[in-house]
Structure 1
């Protein structure tokens, strides 16, 4: 990375829908990468140029009913229409690398989930450029706001439209729009060098997670279930 800066006008927004909530065991069901370009001199209502890349994977296992209820993809549909899981992983990783090579910022909402899944199935995967995580940014810069911080709720708070939530390309588009909105609300996101912005997000996430660990301790609950690394989770510590 260099001393360049984040611009929401040249991004790749990434989202996965999966077989489950554990990034160390979940398999990919759908993967979406949206390459989004908007000239910085454009008017506010200018239409962005969007190139959408979608993958439907056959995860090689049954998709739990709970997961199907979230994203709408059944085991039968994935088996019938999906690509081999390993190919979807490989092509998704290759696209992220290409996006970084083009100087795009990778937008991922709750990056440790999606990126750790990629690394679990492709252990050589690494972060090669700027990641902007609206989940981390919002929690850090509006830390005292009450309520949940799901993508849908945060989009609603910032008046960002999110249609067809839990569809990976819709969620990727919502995250990209949210990142742009956050850059308008918090202009320091545009003026902080990318290396510093990565470090800030790492620290923000760690501090927030550590605070939650302390809360769990006070409640008599196990804090070890809360992990602090960003944008990739570290090795699982056995207790």
Structure 2
């Protein structure tokens, strides 16, 4: 009997960045991990010099990296982005599904970084098959109260998360949550990873539209509806970003 996708190696990816706008944020640190499949976890991590950009204090408070620390420890951003893209493409071409928590954030930032440095994007190198624990969790348990951050999902699915907001640990935790989801909801495991990727496009669209409607109809939150962008696993480029 063939192994289901979650019992084969998973490719995890996570970043810590200079901000929360995927069009302008720069990658500060990143990790690509190979997780599960009966093999030891393998991880590769990077620190970027962020091209001389500033890391705001409120962002430093989340992941701990200051501008000076990134400039001192980091390597040239273009080299870092190329190595991340190469590592992801090699893993995907090996047949590993790519697990990314809240994929439109990290994958959009990576896409914009590639374009910024004149590098082939991930989509131009390979055909990503993405598993997004956030989308899956909202699909199987739509009405559960509470947050849906990685930390929230780790608590709910009983996954250890050591060193939250460090990309290696977050990437491993996202893979573990994806495994728990597929193991608990066996219908997810019965899909191939490619079939699940295709279904998540529709599920994510519904989830994003529902969130936009929620904000639009909630007094005091109407303005937040404008910030809900539609797209999975990658957000389409904004016109002003394309012209930049």
Give the TM-score, by structure 2 length.
Answer: 0.88
The answer to which of 120-129 and 10-19 deviates more is 120-129
The equivalent residue for 1:236 is 238
Number of aligned residues: 227
- Indicate conservation of the 8 Å contact 1:17/1:31, yes or no: yes
The equivalent residue for 1:135 is 134
The equivalent residue for 2:43 is 52
The equivalent residue for 1:118 is 110
**1:137 shift after superposition:** 0.4
2: CA distance, partners of 1:195 / 1:176: 16
**1:132 shift after superposition:** 0.5
- Indicate conservation of the 8 Å contact 1:109/1:134, yes or no: yes
Partner SS state of residue 33, structure 1: strand
1:106 pairs with 2:98: yes
- Indicate conservation of the 8 Å contact 1:18/1:26, yes or no: yes
**1:237 shift after superposition:** 5.6
Give the TM-score, by structure 1 length.
Answer: 0.90
- Superimposed CA distance per residue, residues 2-25 of structure 1 (whole angstroms, 9 cap, x where no aligned partner): xx9623431110000000011110
The answer to which of 169-178 and 115-124 deviates more is 115-124
- Indicate conservation of the 8 Å contact 1:10/1:38, yes or no: yes
1: CA distance, partners of 2:97 / 2:66: 32
Structure 1 residues without counterparts, runs of 5 or longer:
40-47
2: CA distance, partners of 1:164 / 1:113: 20
2: CA distance, partners of 1:119 / 1:25: 11
**1:184 shift after superposition:** 0.6
The equivalent residue for 1:45 is none
- Superimposed CA distance per residue, residues 141-166 of structure 1 (whole angstroms, 9 cap, x where no aligned partner): 10010011010011101111101100
1:92 pairs with 2:84: yes
- Indicate conservation of the 8 Å contact 2:47/2:73, yes or no: yes
The equivalent residue for 1:73 is 65
- Indicate conservation of the 8 Å contact 1:8/1:179, yes or no: no
- Indicate conservation of the 8 Å contact 2:97/2:193, yes or no: no
Q: What value does the CA root-mean-square deviation take over the aligned residues?
A: 1.6
